[in-house]
Amino acid sequence: MRYSKLTYYLLANLIALMFLGGCAQDEILFPQDKETSGEQIQAELLLSVSMPSTTTRAGNELTLPGTNAESILSKITLFIIDGSDVKDFTVEGEDLDKKSLIFLVETTEGEKDIYVGANMSAEQIKIVKTSNKPLQTLNSISDVIGANGFLMTAQALSENGSTKINIVDGRTTKITANLERVVSKVLLTCKSDDGVHVKLSDTSKGYMRLADVHYALETTNKKFYLFGQTNNEDPNYSMSETLGQAFGNNFFSYAGKVEESGDVAIKTDNSRLNADTDPYTEGIYCLENTVGGYSNYNDDLSSLKQVATYIKIAAKFTPMYIDNETELTENEAKSKLSSQGGTFYVCKKAPESKKHICYSSPEAGIRFLNNNSLTAKDFTEHEGGWQRYEAFVASPTSFNEASNVKRNNYYIANVTYITAPIQEKTIEINTTVAAWTIKGSTTIKIETSK
């Protein structure tokens, strides 16, 4: 790093922001031939970050702010592609989002590609400087959501939206970078009338508590490009190629049982989609996951689940009808099944009039159905009362373009329909996708001059 060339001053006043809409990036490649041609000049760069009121990035797009922890800017690194050399300049400090920074960098005149990284580790900076197409493989998601801040990146744009920044000796050049976190966030919500119980499709059959609905993310990416690519392509984008590789080289699999260690779903509250009140902030972080060529596998969910991130859900159900007892209260039903930890059984061959009845054991079912031709094999066990569901983040029954998980988006998956797990299991999810801002803004303004 060229820290000997770096001088910066913290200013007391914030610089007014200039907002630019996002634009699609070409494939981002960094030169590796470390030669710089042209006369070197001292360019002055002024970088400011502000947190104004929440603004959508485009039109009526829904936008929700990040939390304080998600919006920390403790380290900002600029990468200037100067000829065939990649120069980096770093500023560190507390609350950089509340300060303006001015520093000098050594570069040449002419058109430049400039990139911005926030909260980058030394390893990540090295990857950018030594890789043609900067890519990192994570040990865990904590590598990009650490205590020093979430990793955020952007390519700088000129005032007219060009990725080519023309630096002229003696002239001030204004550029803008729209920072994006490299991770996304997924939250599961369920409808509830009382804030305690999930609203089932047929509430006359039993009880399900919000606290007993757990979820986790499965098949999450290990690899990501440090700077977002065209169409949000990730390193595992080609489905046919990825299926031919070892799963563990490319993806994390959820470890443990969802019902024991998964996050707990919360009540659906549409008022929390309003960033001015009490916005949603809960959820699980993951890298972006986009899949190309999936149309060849639309009828092969097992293959799709090997490359696409999806939600695993575990929900505990307490039946209202057990053995010969009807319309049990929740406490009565729990007491009846307490000796077996909530486990119950349903009979696959029960007559239509008795399909809603559950049993404390197969033997009890045979006895109360008064059918000696039945055997234990005719009963389905629901161990502990748990039922498991799976759904892609934005399309539960099939994979499509909406199923892709893109960086810096907040996916709020609302369970709109769920059946009691007696004769069938059905779940329907309606996902809201929100742009995820940095406490209201994702814009950095940089000015360069001699």
- Each residue of 409-443: pLDDT tens digit? 999 999 988 887 776 767 888 899 988 887 655 56
pLDDT interval class at 26 (50, 70, 90): low
Q: Quickly list H helices, 133-292.
A: 239-243, 247-250, 258-261
Does residue 251 surpass a pLDDT of 80? yes
- Most confident of the ranges 25-29, 302-306, 444-448: 302-306
Task: Please indicate, yes or no, if residue 73 is contained in any of the structural domains.
Answer: yes
The answer as to whether 344 is a domain residue is no
Rg (CA), the chain: 27
| SS3 (DSSP) at 273 | helix
pLDDT tens per residue, range 314-332: 999 999 999 999 999 999 9
Residue 360 lies in a domain: no
Is the domain of 80 the same as that of 212?
A: no
174 pLDDT exceeds 80?
Answer: no
In this structure, the number of other CB atoms found within 10 A of the CB of residue 391 comes to: 21
Q: Count structural domains, the chain.
A: 2
Could you tell me which residue, 126 or 300, shows the higher pLDDT? 126
Is 37 contained in some domain? yes
**Is 339 within the bounds of a domain?**
no
Q: Summarize pLDDT for 384-393 with one digit per residue, the tens.
A: 999 999 999 8
In a domain, 362, yes or no: no
- CATH number for the domain harbouring residue 299: 2.60.40
H-helix or E-strand containing 116? Answer: strand 110-118
Helix (H, G, I), strand (E, B) or coil at 372: coil
Residues 128 and 54 reside in one and the same domain: yes
Is the confidence at residue 130, as pLDDT, over 50? yes
Same domain, 171 and 60: yes
Read off the DSSP letter of residue 128. H
pLDDT band per the 50, 70, 90 thresholds, residue 62: confident
Domain hosting 230: range is: 185-316+385-437
pLDDT band, residue 291 (cuts 50/70/90): very high
Bridge-partner residues for 375, per DSSP? none
Position 56 pLDDT exceeds 50: no
Structure tokens at 109: 């005149």
My answer on whether 143 and 240 are in the same domain is: no
Q: What pLDDT does residue 49 have?
A: 45
Q: Which CA distances in Å does 67 have to 51, 55, 95, 104?
A: 12, 16, 14, 32
Per-residue confidence at 4, pLDDT binned at 50, 70, 90?
Answer: very low
Are residues 134 and 196 located together in one domain of the fold?
A: no
Q: Is residue 10 domain-shared with residue 117, that is, in the same domain?
A: yes
Q: For residues 331 and 97, what is the distance between their CA atoms, to the nearest angstrom?
A: 52
> 161 or 368, which is more confident?
368
Same-domain status, 159 and 196 = no
For residue 368, is it within any domain?
no
Residue 137 has pLDDT above 50, yes or no: yes
Asked, for residue 342, whether it belongs to a domain, the answer is no
pLDDT score for 449: 52
Q: Whole-prediction pTM value?
A: 0.86
Same domain, 63 and 104: yes
Q: Which residues, in sequence order, are bridge partners of residue 41?
A: 107
Do residues 214 and 294 share a domain? yes
Query: How many Cα atoms are found within 13 Å in the side-chain-facing hemisphere of 64?
Result: 24
97 and 221 co-located in one domain: no
Q: Would you place residue 446 in the very low, low, confident or very high pLDDT band (cuts 50, 70, 90)? A: low
Residues 242 and 249: their CA atoms lie apart, in Å, by: 10
Asked if 358 and 319 count as a contact pair (C-beta separation under 8 A), the reply is yes
Instruction: Please check whether residues 28 and 126 belong to one and the same domain.
Output: yes
Same domain, 277 and 166: no
Average pLDDT value for residue range 86-98:
79
Out of 148-152, 357-361, 393-397, 398-402, which region has the weakest mean confidence (pLDDT)?
393-397
* Alpha carbon distance 72, 242 (integer Å): 34
Query: What does the alpha-carbon distance between residue 153 and residue 79 come to, in Å, rounded to a whole number?
Result: 11
